[in-house]
Amino acid sequence: MKTLILFDIDGTLLFSNKVDSRCFASSYEVIFGRAFPTIDWTKFPEVTDHVIFRTAFYDHFDRYPSAEERETFEEHYLAALTQVRGENPSEFREVPGAAALWRQLEADDRYLTGVATGGWQRPAALKLAHVGIPPEPPFAGYANDKFSRRDILQEAIDLARSQHEVGHIVYVGDAIWDVTTTQAMGLPLIGVRHKGDHHKLVSLGVKTVISDYLDVEGFVAAASAAR
């Protein structure tokens, strides 16, 4: 029986001080000629690229975007992410120790590693590759055509269970919506707050919150104990 450890991406494995969010908003404004409402993702009904994009589009045009419109937007967003990473690579950093921890877990037969992110797959792959994490993990859930983060986590879990006997599942995330999703699914959460503001998650009932992944043994112990 293996332990499946699923990671969120933004704010959990890497951080960009909202540059990625601003790329999302500016791409929307360039393509559709309307001001993007906000990059405060808590203002949207679900924090996934799919829902955020559809909600903003519907509010502006009183209809949902076509597949072609969504693809056009994603292409522009992906190009913007690629450009800003090329121009200012230091703005986009791994949470310290994330890539090394990933490699160690991957090499340990007791564990399966994966991602479950509110982002679309192609932007997610670009972000992971930038910090030295495999861009296409085999056990992954993305926001492509999914309306809830719960469905995204479940996709990654189902993929892992289709290939392995999974005895324990732990999610690693940084945000309020990670807390509410894992609570609804009955999954343990290890919180990450790279700025050190642990109280934001502790106040919501998260038992273990870390600032980085430099203490690999401590992380593994926390994952084993998380219930």
* CATH number for 117: 3.40.50.1000
Query: What is the DSSP code (8-state) at residue 186?
Result: T
pLDDT at 89: 87
Same domain, 49 and 140: no
Other beta carbons within 10 Å of 158: 12
Range of the domain at 70: 19-89
Same domain, 145 and 211: yes
Domain boundary pick from 32, 62, 89? 89
pLDDT at 121: 96
| Mean pLDDT, all residues of the chain | 95
pLDDT tens-digit series, residues 176-211: 999 999 999 999 999 999 988 999 999 999 999 999
**In the predicted structure, residue 29 carries a pLDDT above the cut 80:** yes
pLDDT at 5: 98
State the pTM of this model.
0.94
Same domain, 65 and 172: no
Domain boundary pick from 89, 123, 142? 89
What is the arithmetic mean of pLDDT over 216-220? 95
Tell me the H-state helices in 164-215: 176-185, 199-202
Same domain, 146 and 212: yes
Same domain, 106 and 123: yes
pLDDT at 65: 97
Same domain, 115 and 131: yes
pLDDT at 154: 97
Same domain, 24 and 41: yes
What is the C-alpha separation between 187 and 168, in angstroms, rounded? 9
Domain boundary pick from 31, 57, 89? 89
Local confidence band at 91 (pLDDT 50, 70, 90 cut-offs): confident
Same domain, 121 and 42: no
Higher pLDDT, 18 or 107: 107
Same domain, 119 and 211: yes
Q: What percent of the chain has pLDDT over 70?
A: 100
Distance of alpha carbon 210 from the chain centroid: 17
Same domain, 114 and 186: yes
Distance of alpha carbon 3 from the chain centroid: 19
**In the predicted structure, residue 28 carries a pLDDT above the cut 80:** yes
pLDDT tens-digit series, residues 123-165: 999 999 999 999 999 999 999 989 899 999 999 999 999 999 9
Number of folded domains that form the chain: 2
Same domain, 113 and 206: yes
Query: What is the DSSP code (8-state) at residue 210?
Result: E
What is the C-alpha separation between 146 and 78, in angstroms, rounded? 19
Same domain, 221 and 114: yes
Local confidence band at 212 (pLDDT 50, 70, 90 cut-offs): very high
